[in-house]
Amino acid sequence: MMPIVDRIALIVAAIGGLNWGSVGLFGFDAVAWLFGGQGAVLSRIVYVAVALAALWCISLIFRVRDTFEQPETDM
């Protein structure tokens, strides 16, 4: 079972990735459009939230590997 913080981080990082994809493909920044430009305080908060979510998702890479590794037991 995946903790709720992990799920939220994945969702926020995915939304951020889709936004960056729209910037790259179409030159359209949805966050800036929704929240009043790239320099607006709310836009900057969203950008920081996406960055923190991405950093959190990096930890998922190492945690998933640890859950599949079974310690060896001598029986």
pLDDT at 1: 66
Q: Which has more confidence, 70 or 42? A: 42
Q: What is the mean pLDDT of residues 65-75?
A: 60
Two tokens, residue 38: 């790239």
The span from the CA of 50 to the CA of 44, in Å, is 10
pLDDT band for 61, please (50, 70, 90 cuts).
confident
Q: Which has more confidence, 67 or 51? A: 51
Reported in sequence order, the residue ranges of 1-75 that DSSP labels E, i.e. its strands, are none
The span from the CA of 33 to the CA of 40, in Å, is 10
Over the stretch 7-20, which tens digit does the pLDDT of each residue have?
999 999 999 999 99
Q: What is the mean pLDDT of residues 30-50?
A: 95
